[in-house]
Amino acid sequence: MTSLSGVVGCLGYGGGRCTGVGVVLVKSRDRRGGADGERVDARQARETTSVSQLVERIQRSTRWCRAGLEAVVPGVGACGVDSAMVVPAAVDRVQLSTQQQRKMVAAGGGHGGGADDGMVVDYRGNPVDKSKTGGWLGAGLILGTELAERVCVMGISMNLVTYLVGDLHLSNAKSANIVTNFMGTLNLLALVGGFLADAKLGRYLTIAISATIAATGVSLLTVDTMVPGMRPPPCADARGAGAHLRCEPARGGQLAMLYAALYTVAAGAGGLKANVSGFGSDQFDGGDPREERAMVFFFNRFYFCISLGSLFAVTVLVYVQDNVGRGWGYGVSAVAMVLAVAVLVAGTPKYRYRRPEGSPLTVIGRVLATAWRKRRLPLPADAGELHGYHTSKVAYTDRLRCLDRAAIMEADLAASPAKTNPTSAAPATVTEVEEVKMVVKLLPIWSTCILFWTVYSQMTTFSVEQATRMDRHLRPGAGAGGFAIPAGSLSVFLFLSILLFTSLNERVLVPVARRLTRRPQGLTSLQRVGAGLVLATVAMAVSALVEKKRRDAANNGGGSRISAFWLVPQFFLVGAGEAFAYVGQLEFFIREAPERMKSMSTGLFLVTLSMGFFLSSFLVFAVDAATRGAWIRNDLDAGRLDLFYWMLAVLGVANFAVFLVFARRHEYKQPAGTAAVVVAPAGAGAGKEKEMDDFVVVKEAVEGMDV
């Protein structure tokens, strides 16, 4: 709901300057953002060279539709450059009905709740026609792209280690690192994809380019696995004792082709991961109640596509890869991605497009670079001398004062232009510096979340290799005649656990915690993260015990194999931990990030995943070097993988202790009220409304993200 409040005064136009009393135009808070509006006082009016510039400034800051407002408030003329603008003093808190809001949108007004008016257009750059663009038609085409991306990525990552060990004859340690480096790079490039979309390309163009790159990469992988010359000669037992002596590993051009294919997929899938959910939500107008409800269903269906694609990949595709052929399995993924690109491009006229608004990474980089460049300048004794101190939208703090140097004004602004150094970069504002400080404040908690994803990565590497050395028949002891579950398909229990505990969290655990703690959210975001870290640590302890049982049975029981269903508890615990840690981390980053840098929450989350996979690669490399291959061997029966799991469990305990220290010291950001320079009608209810806004953003982001 939009309102006009505290409107007084008169702006006359006679081709000259505008003078008179102050004018305040205000738009109330909506579910998409904070209060809009800007105060234009007499001093600012005198500094404006013409009423045209003043009108343009008001139009930019208030974001209301000229035609719609004229229809609602009789007597208010269109705010054209050559028109007179008279604001009646009697207007006070004019409420716009839903029907009138729709008229405003149809006339080219707001989209998405008013926070982005003029930023959403059709493919020709014109104001969107809601009857012909967006909605479920556009969103449905985008969901197909996400489904193909999940089939592609999960079909590769969840079963790649068995191909590297069994067909390319690489060691377990090297194979695990190839998988984790691939997933780490993918998530890191997702951050780059998000930056490109925000800063320059826009979401649609980034998605189209990324999907094409991903289709190219998985096509290369298909060719690589089908051409016999891209694999070493077959070996009878690539996982047995002494396999590294009997079996020739892949070398040179064979590995080069594999790496080229994998990292091409990573580049494409990373760009998709960062933008698909956001582009899908752009197809709905948050200011329209009917489309707002549809947006909620979109995120539910988006998560359904993630789950459906993942389950299809770890069951059907993995079975095809193991029993029909790798080339056929990857070929299905390639065809899916090519079809997704074709469908996406075919729907070009049906989408709504959000113009790039700039990336928070640009602000962060500029503040850090400016602070470094001015590192030798003395800090002013009075913080009021910093650039933009008196107009800052964020309260100044005296922590991390080294960053304050970015806001030091090097030249006297009152000096003549001849004395001013034209090459000196403009200083950052106090608002920008304080926002960067808020991001830096999140880094201690962020650092303790990395180990969770290191544990998660074991479910796609060593746990799958464990399964190859166990009895995978549905009926243990059935022998060669029974149906054997593919090793990579056991990760289906990971996804089932995630879905189960995600539902239990909202339907059972949160209501119970709400009654016990008397907090509306039940568990705080850091409590959720802590629960996930504990479950991950327990999962590693269980993994170590199961591996010891498997190894003892193989070595002391005449080569007997225990059932692969012994691996279910570790998959189950990691999945339960993700249901807590995933939601907790994303909620924490969203709520604690600066208001203008909410998209940084997704960036921080993706970098956490990336660092977790890279940390796994480093630990495997370090352990393999320190033990000279004694712990992680091709023949798991001769190795001590259980000790590696125990090491991760110990690291988990230490990491949790550090997390508790940081969590106890962390002070949650208080909900911000209405800015002091805005005359807002919301009054004292702004803080409560802000909490609800954050809740909606968290809910949508959690449902829209994928791992």
pLDDT digits over 102-128, tens only? 333 333 333 444 444 447 888 888 888
Q: What is the mean pLDDT of the chain?
A: 76
**All residues at 6 or more sequence positions from 196 whose CB lies less than 8 Å from its CB, including other chains:** 206, 271
Alpha-carbon span 461 to 169, nearest angstrom: 15
Q: Given this model, what pLDDT does residue 276 score?
A: 86
Phi first, then psi: what are they for 484, rounded to 5°? Answer: -105, 130
Residue 233's pLDDT band (cuts 50, 70, 90):
confident
Q: How far is CA 103 from the centre of its chain?
A: 34
How much is the average pLDDT of 183-187? Answer: 94
Helix, strand, coil shares, percent, the chain, to 5: 65, 5, 35
Q: Which among 543, 551, 560, 553 is positioned nearest to 640, based on CA atoms?
A: 551
Q: Specify the residue for token string 């504002």.
A: 429
Angle at 307 between CA 303 and CA 310, to 5 degrees: 135
Q: Is the CB of residue 335 less than 8 Å from the CB of residue 144?
A: no
User: E strands within 75-132?
Assistant: 120-121
Residue scoring higher pLDDT (241 or 189) = 189
The two tokens of residue 551 are: 């190894």
Q: Given this model, what pLDDT does residue 598 score?
A: 66
**All residues at 6 or more sequence positions from 326 whose CB lies less than 8 Å from its CB, including other chains:** 163, 167, 225, 226
How much is the average pLDDT of 260-273? Answer: 93
Q: Is the CB of residue 495 less than 8 Å from the CB of residue 307?
A: yes
Q: Given this model, what pLDDT does residue 573 score?
A: 95
Q: Which among 503, 504, 501, 491 is positioned nearest to 568, based on CA atoms?
A: 491
Is residue 599 pLDDT above 70, yes or no?
no
Alpha-carbon span 77 to 305, nearest angstrom: 48
Is residue 360 pLDDT above 70, yes or no?
yes
Q: Given this model, what pLDDT does residue 500 score?
A: 86
Residue 587's pLDDT band (cuts 50, 70, 90):
confident
Alpha-carbon span 499 to 703, nearest angstrom: 12
Type of residue at 321 = Q
How much is the average pLDDT of 484-498? Answer: 89
Q: Which among 528, 543, 394 is positioned nearest to 463, based on CA atoms?
A: 543
Is residue 534 pLDDT above 90, yes or no?
yes
pLDDT in tens, 614-653: 999 999 999 999 998 889 888 888 889 999 999 999 999 9
Please enumerate, as own/partner, the contacts of 8-13 that have beta carbons within 8 Å and a separation of 24 or more.
Answer: 8/87, 8/89, 9/87, 9/89, 10/86, 10/87, 11/45, 11/51, 11/54, 11/55, 11/84, 11/85, 11/86, 11/87, 12/51, 12/84, 13/51, 13/83, 13/84, 13/85
Residue scoring higher pLDDT (683 or 481) = 481
Residue environment code for 171-206, b if the CB has 16+ CB neighbours within 10 A, otherwise e: bbbbbbbbbbbbbbbbbbbbbbbbbbbbeebbbbeb
Residue 394's pLDDT band (cuts 50, 70, 90):
confident
Q: Which among 171, 149, 159, 176 is positioned nearest to 454, based on CA atoms?
A: 176
Angle at 512 between CA 506 and CA 516, to 5 degrees: 135
Q: Given this model, what pLDDT does residue 242 score?
A: 65
Alpha-carbon span 35 to 28, nearest angstrom: 6
Q: Do domains 87-98+121-354 and 442-472+485-665 have the same CATH topology?
A: yes
Q: Which among 570, 610, 603 is positioned nearest to 194, based on CA atoms?
A: 603
Instruction: Give the CATH class of 87-98+121-354.
Output: mainly alpha
Dihedral-angle region of residue 654 (phi above 0 means left; psi in -120 to 50 means alpha; beta otherwise):
alpha
Task: Give residue limits of the domains in the chain.
Answer: 87-98+121-354, 442-472+485-665
Q: Which of 92-106, 513-527, 614-628 has the highest mean pLDDT?
A: 614-628
Q: Is the CB of residue 440 less than 8 Å from the CB of residue 368?
A: no
Alpha-carbon span 413 to 58, nearest angstrom: 26
Specify the range with the lowest mean pLDDT, choosing from 303-312, 371-380, 617-626, 643-652. 303-312
Residue range 442-472+485-665 in CATH 1.10.3720.10: no
Alpha-carbon span 350 to 208, nearest angstrom: 15
Residue scoring higher pLDDT (463 or 675) = 463
The two tokens of residue 27 are: 């738009």
Q: Specify the residue for token string 């993630």.
A: 306
Q: Is the CB of residue 138 less than 8 Å from the CB of residue 203?
A: no
Residue scoring higher pLDDT (36 or 626) = 626
Please enumerate, as own/partner, the contacts of 192-195 that have beta carbons within 8 Å and a separation of 24 or more.
Answer: 192/270, 192/271, 193/270, 193/271, 193/272, 193/273, 193/274, 193/275, 194/274, 194/275, 194/359, 194/599, 194/602, 194/603, 194/606, 195/359, 195/361
How crowded is the C-beta side of 514, counted as CA atoms within 13 Å? Answer: 9
Q: Given this model, what pLDDT does residue 241 score?
A: 66
Q: Is the CB of residue 150 less than 8 Å from the CB of residue 232?
A: no
Residue scoring higher pLDDT (368 or 392) = 368
Type of residue at 520 = P
Is 102 in a helix, a strand, or coil? Answer: helix
Specify the range with the lowest mean pLDDT, choosing from 123-127, 185-189, 670-674. 670-674
Is 285 in a helix, a strand, or coil? Answer: coil
Phi first, then psi: what are they for 445, rounded to 5°? Answer: -65, -40
Q: Specify the residue for token string 């922590």.
A: 399
The two tokens of residue 124 are: 């020709």
Alpha-carbon span 478 to 627, nearest angstrom: 38
End-to-end CA distance of the chain: 35
